[in-house]
Amino acid sequence: MKYLLLSLHFLFCVKLYEAKVVITADTTGPFVHKRPSLDTYNQQRQHVIEKQERRFLGADLMLTNDEKIVNSHIMKLKRAEMDEGFKDSFQFIPARHIFEKLDQLNSSKLFQLIRRIPKGAVLHAHDTAIGSTDLLINATYRPNLWQNGRFESNTPPTFVFSKTKPDGKGWELVSKVRNEMTAEIYDEKLRDLFGLYTKDPINTYKSINVVWDKFQQLFTTIGPIINYEPVWRQYYYDSLKEFYDDQVNYLELRGVLPEVYDLTGKIYSPEEIVQIYVEETKRFIHNYPDFIGAKFVYAPPRFGDDDVFRGFIKILKSLHEKFPKFVAGFDLVGQEDTGRALLEFVPELLKLPESIQFFFHSGETNWYGMKTDANLIDAILLGTKRIGHGFALIKHPLLLEEIKQRQICVEINPISNQVLKLVEDYRNHPAALFFADDYPVVVSSDDPSFWRATPLSHDFYMAFVGIASAQHDLRMLKQLAINSIQFSAMDKVDKARAMRKWESLWNGTMQTLASDISKGNLK
């Protein structure tokens, strides 16, 4: 079968090539065919539009009556925002930096509706950047937290939990500093410190390296707070609750497994940290039975040398053995442009058992033909199950064919791509082609905490209003949710169970929304 396919493909390409030559040699006469009548023209036009729409992500789905009611309401809201923006795109949320438009976005009726829709899973998020800033601020109210330094702009304070004052000059109890500054001012300082948000993002983050430096610094700043075992536990649990409240019912999170510690001086092993995740996930499902679950992808930094990397591989194998189901596989994190190329790790990666799956970040770059977008080739050749970002895929037609044919899912993170300076205007995001041509994609949120976004709804909004066509409707949102389960690392049985859970939520929500809309009760 495969060979027949290949030979057909070959024939097809040859024929196209011949066709091209013939046409090129023949462009001397009038190029147009005989002009059709207006009636024929309109028929042809309708045909093209329909043919185009049949290729959209979600175009195969048939909407129920409830869904049709919800859809026409959603499309009314979407169309209104787009028509308004069309008059002056400076007023259009996805044409601008999210930081400049966050208030407008949060008060958008369409956004509020998207929040209510069951969105399936988040398949691309980093464990210490998934919870709202409030969760982190709350954590700083725990006793025994110390800080070194106040809030001078160049050197952010360092934090640590400790029973006694840490060694060295300058340590003060957070509770004391907060009292001095008043909680209101202090917490506002923390809020600025714990994210990338600024009122003037255009002039604050002039280059990709500037924003990435601050971004990577953030993980260091919050590390000693979040890595404190009681916080680690609660931050994860509370984050799940935030996902749940945002109508996200399953999560595959990436993590570096940092040095989690407690007041006794104990440093938790990678296995113990993952065990915490397993326990808290169980506890959460127990409390919220329609939550589907979570898995973990071990994703250490791409900066270490070969020795460091072999250390990661050792941890990976141990985790794989101890948590064959919860630990889904492996990835590498950190700015791809400045980090090591995937190619350098290939010899070690090829030695891994096939049961360890890959979920590589690749092509998270503006560069073309450099080592960073070459990561796409290696990710695919290594058999990656999904591609993190794949922003540069659009420049690789051969790889585009490959991911479509092999159904390698691309995890699109719209807001992350804007904040981290890959794209300025959502309408230029390359995922537009993926939505237009039903590529295997999911929309995800990467590090929503750092840009004051909800677990998924802000990204869904940007994908739906900014990246997708004005014609893309509820079917696209539904297909994205379906994809997020289909392309998860769950096994067949779990996937079927997850689909049933999600479908039941979806149908229930559609019924409620349709009823509210029909009664005019939807605010």
Q: How far is the CB of 65 from a copy of itself (least distance, A)?
A: 25
Element (H, E) at 409: strand 409-412
Please say which residue, 214 or 495, places its beta carbon nearer to a copy of itself: 495
364 in catalytic set: yes
Half-sphere exposure of 255 toward its Cβ, with a 13 Å CA cutoff?
A: 29
Note whether 362 and 393 are within 8 A (CB): no
Please say which residue, 116 or 497, places its beta carbon nearer to a copy of itself: 497
Cα–Cα separations (whole angstroms), residue 412 to 49, 188, 224, 361? 26, 31, 30, 11
Distance CA 151, CA 450 (A): 18
Q: How far is the CB of 292 from a copy of itself (least distance, A)?
A: 16
Q: Which of 320, 389, 396, 458 is catalytic?
A: 389
Please say which residue, 115 or 472, places its beta carbon nearer to a copy of itself: 472
Please say which residue, 498 or 514, places its beta carbon nearer to a copy of itself: 498
Angle between helices 208-226 and 229-245 (to 10 degrees): 120
Note whether 521 and 513 are within 8 A (CB): no
Q: How many residues does the chain have?
A: 523
Q: What is the DSSP string of 292-360?
A: -EEEEEE--BTT--HHHHHHHHHHHHHHHHH-TTTEEEE--BS-TTTS--GGGGHHHHHTS-TTSEE--
389 in catalytic set: yes
Angle between helices 492-519 and 109-116 (to 10 degrees): 140
Residue 142 bridge partners (DSSP):
none
Reduced to 3 states (helix: H, G, I; strand: E, B; else coil), residue 445 is coil
Q: How far is the CB of 312 from a copy of itself (least distance, A)?
A: 18
Q: How far is the CB of 118 from a copy of itself (least distance, A)?
A: 21
Q: How far is the CB of 166 from a copy of itself (least distance, A)?
A: 36
Q: How far is the CB of 4 from a copy of itself (least distance, A)?
A: 8
Phi then psi for residue 215, to 5 deg, are -60, -50
Please say which residue, 193 or 343, places its beta carbon nearer to a copy of itself: 343
Q: Which of 229, 336, 364, 411 is catalytic?
A: 364
Please say which residue, 23 or 308, places its beta carbon nearer to a copy of itself: 23
Q: How far is the CB of 386 from a copy of itself (least distance, A)?
A: 9
Q: How far is the CB of 404 from a copy of itself (least distance, A)?
A: 8
H, E, C per residue of 191-241: HHHCCCCCCCHHHHCCCHHHHHHHHHHHHHHHHHHHCEHHHHHHHHHHHHH
Half-sphere exposure of 419 toward its Cβ, with a 13 Å CA cutoff?
A: 30
Burial 332-357 (b: 16+ CB within 10 A, else e): bbbbbbebbbbebbeeebeebeeebb
Would you please indicate which residues are annotated as catalytic (active-site) residues? 364, 389
